[in-house]
Amino acid sequence: MSQAEGDPNADTASSVVLSYPSDLSAWGRDKLDGSPFRAYLTKTLGRVEEGQVTEQFTGVGCCGDTLDVPLRVESVEGGRRVDESTTIEYAVRDACGVEGGWRVQSAGGPTE
């Protein structure tokens, strides 16, 4: 048995940098940066690799639009498995047309 096989933390990432689009609203950024969402990511991301994109639901707010944010893995330090000990950091990348805000309950919202 190798040392990595004997150590359950050998494949654990010490930190992961995820990027979000620059046109993400302030509300969306606040949701990403909150401790509940960071904890959610450490429990659900699993194994990651640079360049991987995952759509993450951030919520609807009190009167808002459902907001799925494309998060891209920019870098991974240590192993590839994200868990509760992994530090999540964020970077900003180019805009991609992410919408969000008060659309669901407004006149500008979906009609179907």
Assess if residue 99 is contained within a domain: no
Residue type, 51: G
Average pLDDT over residues 12-24: 95
> How many domains does the chain fold into?
1
Assess if residue 15 is contained within a domain: yes
Q: What is the pLDDT of residue 89?
A: 97
Per-position DSSP letters for 14-30, written without gaps between them: EEEEEEEETT--HHHHH
Q: What are phi and psi of 99, to 5 degrees?
A: -105, 155
pTM for the whole thing?
A: 0.78
- Give the whole-angstrom CA distance, residue 32 versus residue 28: 6
Assess if residue 103 is contained within a domain: no
What is the domain-level CATH number for residue 28?
3.10.330.10
Assess if residue 43 is contained within a domain: yes
Assess if residue 5 is contained within a domain: no
Assess if residue 112 is contained within a domain: no
Domain interval for residue 64: 10-93
Please write the tens of the pLDDT for every residue from 36-76.
999 999 999 999 999 999 998 876 655 555 578 899 999 99
Assess if residue 109 is contained within a domain: no
Residue 111 parent element (H or E)? none
Q: What is the pLDDT of residue 42?
A: 96
